[in-house]
């Protein structure tokens, strides 16, 4: 499974990029607004830090506006992935952009039917929002399972990018189902390291080592 980080915080991105665990970054208007900065400049800086796909979302909702904004965004860097909404105009733009060789992330997916349309439109990534589906009393992980099954049936090239991830269980369940990517808030990615037995074991090893009075260097 690939790990993307869902943030526009350059400090967080630089910190986690050093771990070697990041394969890409996703952003959205809310994240850009939260962290401030000039949109195009922020995207450019992220693209310099992370060589993998960096999702930059259009603000337009009509086809012509989406295409005009995509033209500007894809000039920022070669690894920019245009993020479009799962609407008729968004998927129309997705089809044209993907035909031109541009990476496209179709966002705001909440049903398997929508995911099927995105794959038919040539999306590089489909972003189903598991946390938000859970919030309304439906089963977000069942949505991921359904999308993965459908895509496997037809050998679609679109990668399932699990979004709105709330904790480690979402990540593990999605990985078991065969989802290609999870985009994680920084805190969730860091939480994957945590286990009390790891902490306990390390403390024991260090205490035992200290008793030997030795030094490796």
Residues with active-site annotation: 83
11: nearest Cα among 29, 37, 1: 37
**Residue 140, Cα to own-chain centre: how many angstroms?**
16
Concatenating the DSSP letter of every residue in 125-161 gives EEEEBHHHHHHTTS-HHHHHHHHHHHHHHHT---EEE
Q: Which residues contact 93 (CB under 8 A, 6 or more apart)?
A: 58, 63, 66, 67, 70, 84, 104
């Amino acid at each position: 499974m690939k790990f993307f980080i869902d943030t526009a915080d350059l400090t967080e991105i630089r910190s986690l990029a050093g771990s070697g665990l990041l394969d890409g970054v996703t952003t959205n208007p809310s994240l850009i607004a939260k962290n401030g900065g000039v949109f195009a400049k922020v995207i450019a800086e992220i693209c310099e830090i992370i060589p993998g796909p960096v999702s930059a979302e259009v603000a337009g909702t009509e086809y012509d506006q989406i295409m005009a904004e995509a033209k500007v965004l894809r000039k920022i860097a070669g690894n920019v992935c245009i993020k479009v909404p799962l609407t008729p105009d968004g998927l129309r733009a997705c089809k044209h952009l993907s035909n031109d060789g541009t990476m496209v992330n179709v966002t705001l997916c909440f049903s398997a039917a929508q995911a099927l349309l995105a794959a038919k439109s040539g999306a590089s990534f489909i972003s189903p929002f598991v946390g938000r589906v859970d919030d309304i009393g439906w089963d977000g992980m069942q949505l991921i399972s359904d999308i993965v099954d459908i895509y496997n049936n037809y050998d679609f090239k679109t990668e399932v990018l699990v979004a709105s991830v709330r904790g480690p269980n979402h990540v593990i369940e999605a990985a078991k189902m065969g989802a290609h990517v999870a985009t994680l808030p920084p805190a969730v990615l860091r939480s994957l390291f945590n286990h009390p037995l790891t902490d306990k074991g390390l403390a024991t090893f260090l205490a035992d080592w200290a008793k030997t009075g030795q030094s490796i260097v």
